[in-house]
Amino acid sequence: MPSIRAKKIIPKQSPLDSSSAVASAMAAVGPSDGLNVRYRIQGGKPLKGTVDISGSKNAALPLIAGTLLCKGTVTMKNVPRLRDTATLLATLRFLGATVSENGTTVTINTDKVESKPIPHQFVSKLRGSIILLGPLLARFGEVEMAYPGGCVLGKRPVGTHILAFQQLGVEDLSTDSTLKLVGKPRGGEVILPEFSVTATENILLAAALMTEPVKIELAAAEPHVQDVCKFLANRGVKIDGIGSHSLSIQGGANRLPGNTHTVTSDYLEAGAFILAGLVTRGSIRLRNADRTHLISFLGAIGRAGGKVTCEKNGDILVNGAGSALKATRIQTNIFPGFPTDLQAPFGVLLTQAEGVSRIFEVLFDGRMAYLYELEKMGAHIEILNSHQALVIGPTTLRGRQVPSNDIRAGVAMVIAGLAAQGETVVTDVRYIERGYDRLEEKLKMLGADIIREEE
């Protein structure tokens, strides 16, 4: 991949700086990731009741970043209360934004934001901070940060983002320790090397302030990408092809107007609760879920014998007791295909299905590790390679101590614990709480015996 390393970077402020500004901004994030948090679950209880699905983390992060493009105050509603969103808001505070929070409503004013190097304290635990590249380049023509971190799910390089911006005339001056891009993006065509969600969102946000048109080919089309498109379109940016893999953007404003936006609901959280209701033989009503985001997933649920009904008012009903689970095959894919982020939770359901099921993970090579934990709980699994596995069921799951390997594997372990006999202890809960808003509270309201413990 081409890279220009014309000179050694001498940052205005070291990415490792531990200044009072960093400490002040990070104070709002909450306890350190070093805190040992775990869930203690007594399984075997059917979940019953109604649960409200929160806003999507994967939409909230680029939308929060998008406020950098806006003049005046932006009010964001239905923002999930997560460590990831708190970290990104802390980053905006560090850059000079004014942020106030009231439950799931966040107001942001970025008029006084400055372009300065973003230290590793903000980005090392949040890979989603890469979404700041687009709006900062659009507004200031320069962005510098430590390399983003987050969950380890196989190879997820930043090279796709760099290549995309290079196609719009941006210069890469990165070093081995610092990501730095320079130059205001120019109009043109971007052909992504993969269907990257965050790269698509980065180019969308960068293009919003350009006077020249931009076209993105092989764009991602997930619901959270569509929500970013709607956010921009409601502020005067012309976007053609929303929901497709070819987007045309015509911006042109120096800054976008503020106003209000409501974050779309989290279809990944909705899917997790549907699966939890089925494997516990429970009865759940989901509110604020969008079935159009779950078409492929709901099709797989139907093939597996799960009884799920979508009502006219938008609610989704889960009838676990009336379900006769049977083996099926799932293959992850880009939207509208089966979501990779629901593969691990669905794997738990397959342990309770009659027959031999096959899982084919197409997108990531590190997403099968949770299957070893299910084996510890009594599941009968044959891992064929890093992308394929067989699940032979049904098997009785028994409580064990299991880790959260990543956000989605973590919630899979919680679902397994809810279905298991005896006590399950899920460790490294900090991963889960990066992606699920008040999961423990919601499960308790549905009758789960779950306790959150901190050390």
Tell me how far apart the 2 most distant CA atoms of the chain are, in Å: 66
Contacts of residue 198, Cβ cutoff 8 Å, sequence gap at least 6 = 62, 128, 130, 131, 161
* CA atoms of 96 and 110, how far apart (whole Å): 7
Helix axes 407-419, 343-350, angle to 10 degrees: 20
Handedness of CA 88, 91, 95, 99 (dihedral sign): positive
Neighbour count for residue 244 (Cβ, 10 Å): 10
Rounded Cα–Cα distance for residues 33 and 127 (Å)? 15
Q: Find, among 106, 117, 105, the residue nearest to 142 by Cα.
A: 117
d(CA 389, CA 97): 47
Task: For residue 237, count CB atoms less than 10 angstroms from its CB and return exposed for 0-12, middle for 13-18, buried for 19 or more.
Answer: buried
| Interatomic CA distance for residues 156 and 36, integer angstroms | 27
Report the alpha-carbon distance of residue 46 to residue 321 in Å, rounded: 9
Looking at the DSSP bridge assignments, the partners of residue 332 are 338
**Is residue 151 flagged as an active site residue?**
yes
* Type and span of the H or E element at 344: helix 343-350
β-strand partners of 310: 316
DSSP, residue by residue, 294-312 = -HHHHHHHHHTT-EEEE-T
> What is the rounded CA–CA span in Å between residue 294 and residue 238?
27
**Which residues have C-beta within 8 Å of that of residue 51, sequence separation ≥ 6?**
273, 284, 285, 286, 287, 442, 445, 446
Active-site residue (options: 70, 151, 229, 310): 151
Catalytic residues, by residue number, are 151
